[in-house]
Amino acid sequence: MRRPVIAGNWKMHKTVQESINAAIGLKRKFYTFAEADIVICPPFTSLSKVSDQIMDSSIMLGAQDLYWEEEGAFTGEISPNMLKDAGCRYVIVGHSERRNIFGETDDDVNKKLKVALRHGMVPIMCIGERLEERDSGMTLEILEKQLARGLRDVAKDEAVRIVIAYEPIWAIGTGRTATPQQAQEAHRFIREFIERSYDREAFSKIRIQYGGSVKPENIAQLMAQEDIDGALVGGASLDVNSFAEIVKNAVL
């Protein structure tokens, strides 16, 4: 059985104090929680303080991005060691906002993924198609390209540690969720790609999250799909109660 993983991406929201307050609120609800991995991804400035709050609880810390070099003259970037030092166990790579606003390529995603794995963090690798790509029937082709390039030269024992987040871009922050059937079809395709690239064991083990306007009201239907193992939640993760409802409804 794959362990569900529900991650909250706070994006560029919350000051340090607001992050601490949210972490305390979540810790009260999920001090111990055996049914799923719960991950919160605050902005970089809040990582250490949030880590202090959740350290002894079942909630895990994730970052929203990283750079692939260990250290050096890379103004504005953050290294894997810095994230580890701040308490991160997970890190999001290749979010569509990084790809679309900041020009990240599949090659960048591949480098970030590999450095995260090398440092023992679990990368959450985001992939997904634009609306026009879905409308012109190119969804699976786009996913295949992002997977092939993003996972290049990643060995099976490392690949099975990755969490893949299928996030159709047209569903992110729009209130328009993929139907459970649309999400399931994409997740199945991703799992089969993993089987073709590695083997049947990797097919069974890899965890694939859905992301795109996940809310307390739609998570259960999504999680009922055979190949959906969790969710990457943006907007609805900013509120402690709604994120807590999502986690609870995910494992009903």
Q: Is 211 in the site for ligand PEP (CB under 6 A)?
A: yes
Residue 95 appears among annotated catalytic residues: yes
CA angle 191, 208, 204 (to 5 degrees): 50
Of residues 97, 104, 133, 167, which has the active-site annotation? 167
Contact with ligand PEP (CB under 6 A) among 19, 212, 219, 223: 212
Segment lying near ligand PEP (by CB under 6 A), choices 63-71, 99-107, 148-156, 208-216: 208-216
- List % helix, strand, coil for the chain (3-state, nearest 5): 45, 15, 40
Q: Is 94 in the site for ligand PEP (CB under 6 A)?
A: no
Contact with ligand PEP (CB under 6 A) among 4, 8, 80, 234: 234
Q: Is 129 in the site for ligand PEP (CB under 6 A)?
A: no
Segment lying near ligand PEP (by CB under 6 A), choices 29-37, 135-143, 217-225, 231-239: 231-239
**Contacting ligand PEP within 156-175 (CB under 6 A):** 167, 172-173
Minimum CB separation of residue 106 from ligand PEP in Å reads 18
Cβ–Cβ under 8 Å, residues 14 and 22: yes
Residue 64 makes CB contacts below 8 A (sequence gap 6+) with 9, 10, 11, 41, 43, 44, 91, 92, 95
Q: Is 214 in the site for ligand PEP (CB under 6 A)?
A: yes
Of residues 70, 95, 104, 141, which has the active-site annotation? 95
199 φ, ψ to 5°? -160, -175
Q: Diameter of the chain by CA atoms?
A: 48
- How many residues interact with ligand PEP (rule CB under 6 A)? 13
Task: Give the β-pairing of 230-233 and 122-127.
Answer: unpaired
Q: Is 123 in the site for ligand PEP (CB under 6 A)?
A: no
Residues in the chain: 252
Minimum CB separation of residue 235 from ligand PEP in Å reads 3
Residue 135 makes CB contacts below 8 A (sequence gap 6+) with none
Contact with ligand PEP (CB under 6 A) among 66, 88, 233, 247: 233
Interaction mask 8-47, ligand PEP, x per CB under 6 A? -x--------------------------------------
Residue 119 appears among annotated catalytic residues: no
Ramachandran class of 71: left when φ > 0, alpha when ψ lies in -120 to 50, beta otherwise: beta
Q: Select the residue whose beta carbon is closest to ligand PEP and give its number.
A: 234
Cβ–Cβ under 8 Å, residues 34 and 78: no
How far CA 24 is from CA of 6, 33, 210, in Å, comes to 18, 15, 26
Catalytic residues: 95, 167
